[in-house]
Structure formats: structure tokens, C-alpha cells
Amino acid sequence: MSDKKKLKLVLCWHMHQPEYRDLQTGEFKLPWTYLHVIKDYVDMVAHLEAVPEAKAVVNFAPILLEQIEAYANQIQGYLRNGFCITDPLLAALVAPAIPEDPEDRLQLVKDCLRANRDRQINRYPAFQKLVEMTEWLEQHYGALCYVNTQFINDILVWYHLAWMGETVKLTDSRIQHLIEKGSVYTLHDRVEIVKIIGELLSNVLHRYKVLARKGQIELSVTPYAHPIMPLLLDLTTTHEAMPEAPLPELADYPGGADRVTWHLEKGVQTFKRFFGAKPKGCWPSEGAISQQTLKTLSDFGFNWTASGGSVLRNSLHRSENKEPTGIHHPFKLKNTKIACFFRDDGLSDLIGFEYSKWHADDAVADFIHHLETIAAFESGDKVVSIIMDGENAWEHFPDNGYHFLSALYGRLSSHPSIELTTFSDCLKNKAVVKPLATVVAGSWVYGTFSTWIGSADKNRGWDMLGDVKCAFDKAVVDRRLTAVQIQQAEFQLAICEGSDWFWWFGDYNPGLAVSSFEKQFRLNLANLYRLLGEEPPAYLALSFTQGSGDPVMGGAMRPGIEH
């Protein structure tokens, strides 16, 4: 079958973690960046390296790139010069002594419970036993004084072994030896793990860069700190997909258009520093688009962007063009030059939420069957877009998705009627781009902005952000800040504008996650007030949202279609 006749399939993996540092102290408040590097980002690039015929799009949030660099530099500084590591969990791994305070000990071992119970903890009987002992200690606080150094050292080692990527476990003899050892880990063992983590952090981005230079993958960018661009541009676009949603007291986000431009310029600048080239495409944070967002991205010079299938369905439903049309094409909004691809929500959600429960071969066969059905029953040239988090699904699969991803790339790359490709290659090869009369603003989650705005807690977050932005603008107008101080404040403001804080606000989320992200949001705002030379408002000392929910997959991912 000629390439022209093949079904075009784009696998787009979005790699993103918010800024976890307290930018005033440099301390990482949560460890998720380095843990996802050693587990998910190294595994994904290894799968691609193993199947040179495979193609994919890999999207990096610029703020993630900078954190990976910061971790790599820290570990090098520790190994070469004995400098301190500012991530508490990573520092504890190589600490010569355990905390003296029982509360600190309990917190440290509890931090080592933050892993998938079935896939990461119970897979290793030695780790499972330590976790069960920790859970007993939580119920018997008085026994903490009897917890010795070895117990804490061993659970710290096992936590990091459990988070290690499957491709690392299969190829690194040092990791294999530590897993086989099982207990009584020494300081030498713990330093060895930090060395391995340092190697993975130092090399991972270069490995993606090499694949991009070979043309095997396309690298794309997200606005710098992952803001929801349509909401910065116009909060009322919320009502396009949710007419009844309550909005914040904030009428609009002050200077939002300038902030969007700042995030795009800074994002591209950061991307070019790491990868040496300008990206052709932009995955907007959370696939969030609006008419104004698409015009902004088009004017900025991007060739393509993408969003959720529900956004396209809402837009076609409201469009003047009532002729039926399939979703498996790029579209172009009138008066813009940018092609917009739309995610196949059903197929993407199968990978994200269902196939982890299946045998890998059955899951891949089912996925390919769906693609073959699309190829057979939809006329004309088609592009199927699978767009997903690149990190959060795999911990729910056996062996971090190793068997599924190996089979997926292997079978797709040799399939006679399916062609793995990239968004840019689709456009270069003259894929049919259909006209779109209008866009109903929304995101890849349900086709709405409900994950970030429209409830009491989320709206409160926007009002708090609006307050600090007004304070920032006033400080600039009053010329109270030097050029260096303005630059520092702009960076801190960008962190506050990130989407992740709003994602977690709300009682339907797990309590621990809500607490962690809400505290960080308040810290970020307080730090910005201090940079402006102002005392933070008293309300920043008070928690404003708590969680008690138990969402599917822990809440780190949401399906594209609301069930």
C-alpha cells in the first residue's frame, strides 16, 4: 500500500511537571520531576530508540526542562564537591544519619508510600513488607522511637528502585544488583543510586534531541509555565462550553494578552536553548484553545497546534457548516494560518484508562483493530491524533507499560496500512486541512474549562491570582522595582499562572494532593508579594480548599469525555 493511502497516526506524548521549587530558597517541595524522569521520560525515549522505524511527537513544557537541568546540576555538585541537594527526599537518600525527631522520621517514611500500590509496591515483597510496617507505625506512633537507621535507609532505597524505569531495570547491572540485594543497604548503595539518577537526568534530554535530529521524533513546546491561555486572555470564554458556570469576582485577568505573549516568547527561547532549534508546533497547556488563542498562536508563527476532540465536536455543532465531517483531519480556523489537530478522545482514553488492565498483546490488538476500522469506514486521507500525558498512565500498567509500549511501537511501525508520523510531516505531505468556521473555547478535559474555573475553590484561586497581578502591575507603574527585580517578579508571576494549582483545587480530589498543591500555590503568591516589597495578605496563611475524593487514577489524569 502506498504511503498516500495509509492511515496517518500521530502519537503525541506531553511531558509536563509544574515548578516544584520555592524559587526564593531553591528547595524542591515535591519530588515528582526527578521521579518521572527516571521512570517515564527515560523509558519513553528508550522505547523509541529500540524501534527506529517508529515516529512520535514529544512535547516538553519549558519549566520542566529547566527543572531537569537544575536536578542534574545539583547531583553533579553533590557528587563532585559535596554540595547540598535541595530536594528533601533525594537528600535523605544519601544523608549519613536519620532525623532525630519522631515526627520527621514518620514524615520521611510516609513520603516513601507515594507509589502505585499494585504495580510499584506489591511487585517487590521486600518493599511491600517495609510499607506494611510503615502503615503499622502510623497507627502506633509511640513505636517510632524504636525505628532504626536501617529501616529508613532500606525504605528510601526501595522507593527509588520502585520508581526506576523498566528499561533501566532491564539494562543496568547496578540496579539489578540492588534489587537482588533486597535489604541492609549501605551508604555506598545509596550514593550509587544517586549516581544513576544523576546519569539519567544528565542524558535524557540529549537522547530526545538525537532522535529529533534523525527525524524520528518531532519535539514541540508548551507556553513557558503551562498557563491556560484562553483564561488569561478572557475569563468569560468559560461560558462558551459552560454557560451556567459561576465566574470569579475578577472580571478579567489584568494584562492577560501580554502575559500570554511572555509565556510563548519565554517558552520558545527556553526550548531553543535545550534543543537548538525553533519548534514548529505548540501543544497549548491542557489543549486549551479559543478563537483568540488560535489567532495568537498563528500570529506567533507556529505551523500547528492541537486540542481535544470534544472541543472540535462542540465547535462543529455550533458551526454554520452543518455537513457531517469526521474528526480525523487537521482544521484551520478562518482568518488564521495555523493548522489545529484534534485528539481522538476515545482511543487516547483507552490507553490512559483501560489498557492498563489488559494483557499488553490484547490491548495493542484492540487498539489496532479500532484504527483499521477507521481506515476502512472513513473516506479520504485521515490523520488520527493520540495525545496523552507522557508520564502519568504508565505506573498503572504492569512493568511501567514496558510490554504495552514495546508491542505498540513494534506492531505499528510494521503495519501495512498504518503510518506512524508527526504533525509537521502531515502538513509537509499535504494532509487535507479542513476549514473551521468557529471554535468553542475548551480544553482536552471534557471540552470545557471546568477543571480550572467555575467552582468556588477554583474561582477563589483566580481572585487571589488577580490580586497579586494587580500588585505586580502597580509596583511596575510606580517604578518601585529595579530591572533585575522586575525580571525576578515576572518569573515568580509566571509560576503562579500555571494551570496545575487550579487543577487540584476542589474536594473531589485526593486530600494529600490538594493540600500539597494548594500550599505551594499560596507559597508562590506570598513569594511574589515579598519580591514586590509587600507583606503578603493575611488570607495566604489560611488553607482555602481541601480534598476528600478518590478519583480514577488518583486524579493526575482526566478523560477527554465526561462519563
For Cα atoms 479, 480, 482, give the angle at the middle one, nearest 5 degrees: 85
Q: What is the 3-state secondary structure (H, E, C) of 94-118?
A: CCCCCCCCHHHHHHHHHHCCCCCHH
State phi, psi for 374 to the nearest 5 degrees. -60, -45
The answer for residues whose C-beta is within 8 angstroms of residue 184's C-beta and 6 or more apart is: 150, 154
Looking at residue 323, its pLDDT comes to 61
Per-residue pLDDT of the chain (563 residues; tens, 9 = 90+): 555 689 999 999 999 999 999 999 999 999 999 999 999 999 999 999 999 999 999 999 999 999 999 999 999 999 999 999 999 999 999 999 999 898 999 999 999 999 999 999 999 999 999 999 999 999 998 888 888 999 999 999 999 999 999 999 999 999 999 999 999 999 999 999 999 999 999 999 999 999 999 999 999 999 999 999 999 999 999 999 999 999 999 999 999 999 999 999 999 999 999 999 999 999 999 999 999 999 999 999 999 999 999 999 999 998 766 566 788 999 999 999 999 999 999 999 999 999 999 999 999 999 999 999 999 987 778 999 999 999 999 999 999 999 999 999 999 999 999 999 999 999 999 999 999 999 999 999 999 999 999 999 999 999 999 999 999 999 999 999 999 999 999 999 999 999 999 999 998 899 999 999 999 999 999 999 999 999 999 999 999 999 988 888 787 878 888 75
**One-letter identity of residue 279:** P
Q: What is the pLDDT of residue 346?
A: 97
In angstroms, rounded to a whole number, what is the distance separating the alpha carbons of residues 452 and 284?
A: 15
Check residue 521 and give its pLDDT: 98
Number of H helices, E strands in the chain: 23, 10
Please report the beta strands in 304-442, taking only residues with DSSP state E, as ranges in sequence order. Answer: 304-307, 331-333, 339-342, 383-389, 418-421, 434-436
Q: How far apart are CA 502 and CA 514, in angstroms?
A: 10
